[in-house]
Amino acid sequence: MISRDRDAAGRARNDRPRDRLGRPLPPGSAGVTRIPDDLELSPQQTLTFAQQLLDDGLAFNAHEVLEAAWKNGPVAERMLWQGLAQYAVGITHIQRGNRKGAGTLLRRASERLTVYPANAQHHDVDRDGLIAHARELLGALDSGAEITEDRLRPRLRAEST
């Protein structure tokens, strides 16, 4: 049986270094800086950090930041953060060339963002813009069209007017 790294609570943890797309590297390799599992930021800090990572082409790391908000935030907001985390994983799958996985995660993300209550706290998340962007990416995935890197940097927040 393979022994896995565990945290103090017994949850599986993988401390191996990872590449820019989140793929594990051999132990001792130089990888990108990891996002701590216990990261706790305000919603605005979370969105700013995730946006910076998306802009830098680090969708997997953005996913980890958004996942921390999902797991550590208020229960009432979990669907929003889960949808955003799945969105970033969908982009990660596109970057990795996994079109099927990308489609699955982008559909899940869109569903979560669509059903998130309209009267709930959104933290200026551009829900409608992200859903429209996901649909564009899904159309490209379904048609086999090329998806350029610039299309993998969605805006998480609504533009200020």
Question: Mind listing the pLDDT tens digit for each residue in 4-15?
Answer: 565 566 655 667
**Residue 102's closest CA among 63, 72, 74, 55?**
63
Backbone angles phi, psi at 47, to 5 degrees: -65, -40
pLDDT at 25: 83
pLDDT at 1: 52
In the predicted structure, residue 2 carries a pLDDT above the cut 70: no
Domains of the chain by range and CATH? 39-117+124-152 (1.10.3450)
To which residue do tokens 């599986």 refer? Answer: 12
Half-sphere exposure of 8 (CA within 13 A, CB side): 2
Q: Name the amino acid, one letter, at 94.
A: I
Q: What is the pTM of this model?
A: 0.86
Q: Name the amino acid, one letter, at 101.
A: G
Q: Once rounded to an integer, what is the mean pLDDT over residues 39-68?
A: 96
Confidence of residue 161 (pLDDT cuts 50, 70, 90): very low
Confidence of residue 146 (pLDDT cuts 50, 70, 90): very high
pLDDT at 118: 66
List Cα–Cα distances, 13 to 6, 9, 16, in angstroms: 5, 11, 9
Rg (CA), the chain: 16
**Kindly report the CA angle at 48 between 46 and 84, in degrees rounded to 5?**
55
What's the mean per-residue pLDDT of the chain? 89
Question: pLDDT digits over 97-121, tens only?
Answer: 999 999 999 999 999 999 987 666 6
